[in-house]
Structure 1
Amino acid sequence: MSGNIAEKLISCRRELHAYPELSNQEFATTEKITRWLQDAGIRMLPLGLKTGVVAEIGRQKAPLIALRADIDALPIEELSGVPFSSRHEGVMHACGHDVHTSVMLGAALLLKAREATLPGAVRILFQPAEENFNGACHLIDAGALENVSAVFGMHNAPELPVGTFATRRGAFYAHIDRFQITVTGKGAHAAKPEQGIDTIVTASQIVNALQTLPSRNFSSLESLVVSVTRIQGGNTWNVLPQTVELEGTVRTHNVKVRERVPDILTRVIDGVASAMGAEARLAWYPGPPAVVNTPFWADFSQRVAADAGYQVQEAELQMGGEDFSLYLQQVPGTFVSIGSASEFGLHHPRFNPSEQAIYPAAAYFARLADEALSALLLAQTAAPAESMG
């Protein structure tokens, strides 16, 4: 049976990989997932989602836990060279959400096979729009977490070998915030820069000055990354542009550090712009908060992983972000890393995770769900609920 399911999951993963869809456009992906679940006799919840699927397996009564997979792709042209490469130009599953979806589909199939003996129910969230950080909100607003006592999710980790598992208590993934800085000066002929206020030079100095935020404005013991990822200004080679726009991201784990960053960033850019005779305006866009794992469930997930044969590691802090954090603000749970052994990392056009990671992860999450339900059932009569959340 395991061999048949493993082959099916790889086939499903390749189908998803060949036809990726961007955030909130996962219509065909939703249809595929729905069909695979229906073929297995798994019931879907009628939550009125535009894209995405929520399925449920097991007894209708409590306890109830949730497993989450994300289903969207990225606007990246694939260069992996695999036979099932993306058929959609400029779109690729470069983050491995096709793997995540296949893993949780496998968990659903395995749980369905022992549905009659489950000590509760398992809700599987196939979430859209993780890459633009609004998919979790859609599912929460639709009621996907209603009556859920614990939630679990994963991300494949290309830097870890297949068969490796990692998570940690408390903060794991970072707060994600985006900023835009508009620098305004005075346009001029490139041959006569003294007649203008050079926004290109001002913007360049702002980029350099921003690197002093983590090194000179906060403790070196704090995790803080400031990255400028886009600079746009001018439209010809011999004119100093009137404006230049910078865009980037700030990643943190400490809430107090996160709260201070916009004010300090404003002070820095205002100071540099003023010195150059220009003006700078900051637009700040808060993103999802940090992923903060519940200690009980982090330890629980590690124990189950060890019992399942994984090499268990203590995960390092990650500067990447995940809107799974929004689920953890609603209910206890944990987010974990599963080794996928890709030479190229996440969001790279040659990213190619090992498919050998899929079935063991599916079996792990089915086992985790079963044991978590048993633990919750026991806690109702033998232990205080607070210990789990």
Structure 2
Amino acid sequence: MIALRADIDALPIEEATGLPYRSQNQGVMHACGHDIHTSVMLGAALLLKEREAELPGRVRILFQPAEENFGGAKTLIRAGALEEVSAIFGMHNEPGLPVGEFATRGGAFYANVDRFVFKVTGKGAHAARPHEGRDAILLASQLVTVLQSVASREVNTLDSVVLSVTRIQGGNTWNVLPESVELEGTLRTHSSEVQQRVKARVSEIAAGFASAFGAQIDVFWYAGPTALVNDARWADFASEVAARAGYRTHHADLHLGGEDFAVYLQHIPGAFVSIGSASEYGLHHPAFNPDERLIAPAAHYFARLAEEALQHI
């Protein structure tokens, strides 16, 4: 059996495309194109159903929720979605590629994803008397700057690593130095060795800052999906089928986004691919608008990929 997977969830973003068929739910938008992925796999399912009697095996279509919070793949696996499945394929639309173009790669493709939260606790004080406190905002600000040196100065430049602080929250009025500040962000890596080394170094830096400033810094790590590693054989096979289907194929660059399709590939072989969607705006942008002309050829491609893969398992 071959499995095809589409993710189906949206994002908490207010849509700004102005399209007549834009989201009708305030603050909810398909800003990552999962509606496109679902349409593609529905199309593939219809095409495969028309040829069901001629197929040399069975195809299972997975419509997966909760990709954005990285829990959906595990839920489907626990429900038995991979039982009897020999190989699995999935896709993501790629706004940086024109429609009609295709990319994948064997081996590491998408990144390990880690979320971190730092709770910086100092001592609150009047803003006019900072010497009576321990300024958590000052400490947090310097910590943000120094953390960037871990990626730029302590990791081989040939290794992929991104460390981004995405939220700073502290204080609630203009004349009080707050007791605590929270920092939140993400670490992205392809190598588990680099991942563990950076996490350890970040914790060391936090401890050093806490000691130097006479404050407390608690570091919390939350693991997302591991690196997505395509099976080399199936990645090459997917690219060969794409070329025969009329796509212009490319060897994909490493991607620092996260993708919980990686969880399936920890259990069975398969490949994840990129299909060009030619959007002026990128993924997770409120004006993201993928070119829907990708749907029909991609549906035909995945139907063909599943049928040909059945002949090679």
Question: 1:358 aligns to what SS in structure 2?
Answer: helix
Matches within 5 A, 1:220-369: 220-369=157-306
Letter in 1 for 2:142: Q
Indicate the RMSD between aligned Cα atoms, in angstroms: 0.7
1:207 correspondence with 2:170: no
Deviations 1:70-94 (A, max 9, x none): 0000000000111111110000000
Deviation at 1:312, TM superposition (A): 0.2
Q: Distance in 2 between matches of 1:277 and 1:256?
A: 32
Q: Distance in 2 between matches of 1:259 and 1:313?
A: 31
Q: Identify which of 43, 67, 78 aligns with 1:106.
A: 43
In structure 2, the partner of 1:10 is none
Deviation at 1:272, TM superposition (A): 2.1
Show structure 1 runs of 4+ deviating over 4 A.
none
Q: Distance in 2 between matches of 1:252 and 1:212?
A: 15
Given that 1:186 and 1:198 are in contact with CA atoms closer than 8 Å, whether structure 2 keeps it comes out as yes
Deviation at 1:261, TM superposition (A): 2.3
Letter in 2 for 1:360: P
Question: 2:84 aligns to what SS in structure 1?
Answer: coil
Which one has the bigger helix percentage? Answer: 1
Aligned length: 313
Q: Distance in 1 between matches of 2:192 and 2:296?
A: 37
Q: Identify which of 133, 140, 150 aligns with 2:77.
A: 140
- For structure 1, the 5+ residue unaligned runs are 1-63, 377-389
In structure 2, the partner of 1:61 is none
Q: Distance in 2 between matches of 1:370 and 1:250?
A: 38
Given that 1:205 and 1:272 are in contact with CA atoms closer than 8 Å, whether structure 2 keeps it comes out as no
Given that 1:137 and 1:326 are in contact with CA atoms closer than 8 Å, whether structure 2 keeps it comes out as yes
> TM-score, normalization: structure 1?
0.80
Identity of aligned residues (%): 66
Deviation at 1:221, TM superposition (A): 1.1
Deviation at 1:184, TM superposition (A): 0.4
In structure 1, the partner of 2:117 is 180
Letter in 1 for 2:201: I
Deviations 1:4-53 (A, max 9, x none): xxxxxxxxxxxxxxxxxxxxxxxxxxxxxxxxxxxxxxxxxxxxxxxxxx
* Greater relative CO (CA pairs within 8 A, separation 6+): 2
Given that 1:72 and 1:130 are in contact with CA atoms closer than 8 Å, whether structure 2 keeps it comes out as yes
Given that 1:340 and 1:354 are in contact with CA atoms closer than 8 Å, whether structure 2 keeps it comes out as yes
Q: Distance in 1 between matches of 2:26 and 2:173?
A: 30
Question: 1:172 aligns to what SS in structure 2?
Answer: strand
Deviation at 1:121, TM superposition (A): 0.5
Q: Distance in 2 between matches of 1:237 and 1:371?
A: 65
- For structure 2, the 5+ residue unaligned runs are none
Deviations 1:325-355 (A, max 9, x none): 0000000000000000000000000000000
Please identify, of 264-273 and 201-210, the stretch whose mean Cα deviation from structure 2 is larger: 264-273
Question: 2:110 aligns to what SS in structure 1?
Answer: coil
> TM-score, normalization: structure 2?
0.99
Q: Identify which of 3, 18, 36 aligns with 1:81.
A: 18
Deviation at 1:229, TM superposition (A): 0.5
In structure 1, the partner of 2:52 is 115
Deviation at 1:106, TM superposition (A): 0.2
Deviation at 1:271, TM superposition (A): 1.5
Question: 1:375 aligns to what SS in structure 2?
Answer: coil
Question: 1:125 aligns to what SS in structure 2?
Answer: strand
Q: Identify which of 67, 91, 113 aligns with 2:28.
A: 91
